[in-house]
Amino acid sequence: MKGVAIVGAGQSIFSRSCGMSVRELSFEAYQEAMAGLNISRKDIDASIICSAPEYDKQRTAAALISEYLELTPAPTFYVESVCSSSSAGLRVAWSLIKSGLHQIVTVIGFQKMSELTSPEAAERMSRGDDIMFGSPLGTSMPAGYAMYARAHMAKYGTTEPDLAAIRVKNSGYGAMNTKATYRKALSLEEILGSDVVCSPLKRYDCCANADGASCIIVASAEKAKKITDKPVWVAGIGMATSELNLSARESLTNLSCVREAARQAYQMAGSGPEDIDVAEVHDCFTIAELMAYEDLGFARPGEGAKLLRDRQTYLGGKIPVNVDGGLLSKGHPIGATGGSQIRTIVKQLRGEAGETQVENARFGLIHNIGGVGTYANITILTR
């Protein structure tokens, strides 16, 4: 089967309040993705726009953005799987190219969270759970992940300092990321002393809403080699969905959808967790990164904290994770997050990550989650 490559990747600066429209945010990401490529806008024969629509004041945002970027009259698709929307968009782009229907597809993710107040955003996020049996009982995003944290602590002896250590790592790398919302290294004491959001999760255990956009340009093998001399190939993709109701899930110490999506991606790539050189995982909360270590096979169940304590997820370790600061530092503009994660891995595989470059990175993995572990997209890229 012919390959599919990412030929361009970009993102806007992520911020708490960008002061721009969603079309301008999207252009900022698109402009970076197109830089240095041997194509024009007319060569892009489809676009996929990704966001969570309940946060957007603009209806039909897909048409608005494709018009502003002068991508019409090529078809525009709209993809949504909440926080994993733009990773799902890459999956759709891959499928369109594999089918032969399209040759060059751009995937744009965006969200302007500052259009809503914090209570409004929290209310919409809580409706990601079952609105009859879940969200009315208080299962907001922090509450859902707090349950996972408590379960992990009860079963494996995980501690609050173990969780805080993840933010220490990611804040250190976030301080180096010029496109991150938060660029300040935090101490363990600062994190443990921050206000409780939903016990045991504190303020610094949680990522923040942000405004931002990302853009990934995907091409067939034939086109990719003409567009750039640094194509990054999609080696494996996996996607799975867990039950929406947490009460229906078999375990609260792992995400079954991640394990299944990872199995699919590893199988397609002909690789395993031992082959991954660098990873981006969806650290919407510190417990989410810890669980990802275990669900992706980087550590055995219950041993994720040890992997971190041994600094194996730092630069120079066995599997560097979130060396761009992760969501905890970058912020989380829902529709843009997956594309931002993909951009980081693309830059790593191209050797363009600067002071956070992983030496000789060949395989990179992206772990992007939607909802409280509802949707999982796992992507493996290679150079």
Catalytic residue among 83, 207, 257, 284: 83
Q: What 3-state class would DSSP assign to 242?
A: coil
Containing 363, the helix (H) or strand (E) segment is: strand 363-370
H or E element that contains 106: strand 104-112
For residues 289 and 304, give the distance between their C-alpha atoms in angstroms, rounded to a whole number.
Answer: 9
> Which residue, among 218, 235, 207, 194, has the nearest Cα to 380 in the 3D structure?
235
DSSP letter (8 states) at residue 32: H
Catalytic one of 102, 152, 282, 332 = 332
What CA–CA distance (Å, rounded) separates 214 from 217?
Answer: 10
Place of tokens 């049996």: 133
284 catalytic residue (yes or no): no
Q: Is 152 a catalytic residue?
A: no
DSSP H helical ranges for the chain: 22-34, 61-68, 85-98, 118-126, 141-156, 160-174, 188-192, 221-227, 256-269, 286-295, 304-309, 326-330, 337-349
Q: For residue 43, how far is the Cα from the chain centroid?
A: 27
Catalytic residues: 83, 332
